[in-house]
Amino acid sequence: VTSVVSHGADPVDRRHNELVIRWEVEPGPDLKGFRVYREVVLTAAPEGGASASGPESADPEKTPQPGPGAVLVTPTIIKGPGPHSWTESPLPKSGVYRYWIEALGTGTNHLYLDPIEVEVDPWADVMLALYPNPVVDQMKVAFSMAEAGPVQATIYGIDGRMLYREDLGTKTVGSLEWSWDTRLADGQHVAAGTYFLVLRTGTVVYRDRFVVMRRK
């Protein structure tokens, strides 16, 4: 590697349950590829008085490198001319992480790019998206849950009448998705018009309006 052009992380994408690490370098003739490591950053001193983790380098002249707790997260070497990217999906549990990119040369030669720190916030109970809207054939609802629990989806007409209800069972913490093909319990499609979705996740209730259109 002759020099680093750019590297960093995209914001955590809750809807797609992922984050993306990106980097670009000006390669030297002996560059073989890259590996990515993930390291947990301790935000408070653990029991026993140890300090929060930082880049592993007691010697200021020494290049920082991952600590002993870092985990290799790329199963194969990432090759190619670049720019490069690596996607973490699903997201790790909430916390602060340090991602290390190791550039591999010939033989045992290697070096680490400066680490990239990413914070993954705790999951929250939130409806992320209802799409497409208007709906033609199928609607998808993306949501997340902070705690495991039962989920129920109910469709109401514009006049407030309940038209369809589906118990989705007990769901786990994280990013989830429910699909509806616009059919009622009798198998018939709902007519074109305006409807309301009520999504219950534990004690939290979300409401959203959507429109159904029919093909001519």
Provide the residue-wise pLDDT of the chain in tens; the chain has 216 residues. Answer: 667 878 888 878 876 778 999 999 988 888 999 999 999 998 654 455 444 455 555 455 567 899 999 999 999 999 988 899 999 988 888 889 999 999 999 888 899 999 999 998 887 767 778 999 999 999 999 888 888 899 999 999 999 999 999 999 999 888 889 999 999 999 999 999 999 999 998 778 899 999 999 877
Look at residue 29 in the predicted model and tell me its pLDDT.
82
- Report the CATH fold assignment for 3-120: Immunoglobulin-like (2.60.40)
Look at residue 192 in the predicted model and tell me its pLDDT.
96
Asked if 193 and 212 count as a contact pair (C-beta separation under 8 A), the reply is: yes
Look at residue 51 in the predicted model and tell me its pLDDT.
41
Q: What's the pTM value of the predicted model, to 2 decimals?
A: 0.60
Look at residue 80 in the predicted model and tell me its pLDDT.
84
Look at residue 99 in the predicted model and tell me its pLDDT.
95
Asked if 205 and 151 count as a contact pair (C-beta separation under 8 A), the reply is: no
Look at residue 52 in the predicted model and tell me its pLDDT.
45
> Which residues in the chain are classed under CATH 2.60.40.10?
3-120
- Report the CATH fold assignment for 126-212: Immunoglobulin-like (2.60.40)
- Would you list the DSSP string of 18-76? BEEEEEEEE--TT--EEEEEEEEEPSSPPTTSPPPP--B-SSTTSPPB--TT-EE--SS
